[in-house]
Homo-oligomer: A and B are copies of this chain.
Amino acid sequence: MRITVCRKESFNAAHRLHNKNWSDEKNKAIFGLCNNPNYHGHNYELIVKVNGEIDPDTGYVIDMKILKAIIKEEVVQRFDHKNLNLDTVEFRDLNPTAENIAIVIWKRIKAKLKEDLSLTVVLYETPKNFVEFSEACL
């Protein structure tokens, strides 16, 4: 019997949307306020959803303590209170849109999960803007 277990965490970061191959004018035209060269920031809310078999001994799909530790190591310690464009290797050349951040997070967490677990990541950039990425999207 498979079921999905979900954990919510958060991190606060600065970022700027920018395409290095475009002129400043085009960047400003496309990304608007999000292109501010001095950055702006968000409280990112992250929901990590793991689908798998329930272990009959524990009643768990995955021990939440383990899932929390994975999220802490792969996401929070890397991105919390950071400037995504300047302080991380992932977004040095990748535009830190919510879409791209979600996929980077999905890949990092996925690499740490047992193979039979499938993963969905939901990332809120603001309470009104969010993205969802899952196994099925690949």
- Contact for A42 among B8, B12, B83, CB less than 8 A: B12
Could you tell me if B6 and A129 are in contact, using CB atoms closer than 8 angstroms? yes
Residues in A82-138 with C-beta less than 8 Å from chain B: 82-83, 86-87, 94-100, 102-103, 126-133, 137-138
Q: Indicate how many identical chains form the complex.
A: 6
Could you tell me if B59 and A40 are in contact, using CB atoms closer than 8 angstroms? no
Taking residues whose C-beta sits less than 8 angstroms from the other chain, chain A's interface range is: 35 or more
Given A40-B41, A43-B42, A58-B19, A81 and B12 touching (CB < 8 A)?
A: no
Nearest chain B residue, comparing its CB with the CB of A127: B8
Could you tell me if A94 and B59 are in contact, using CB atoms closer than 8 angstroms? yes
Could you tell me if B128 and A8 are in contact, using CB atoms closer than 8 angstroms? yes
Closest 3 CB pairs of A and B: A41-B41, A59-B97, A33-B81
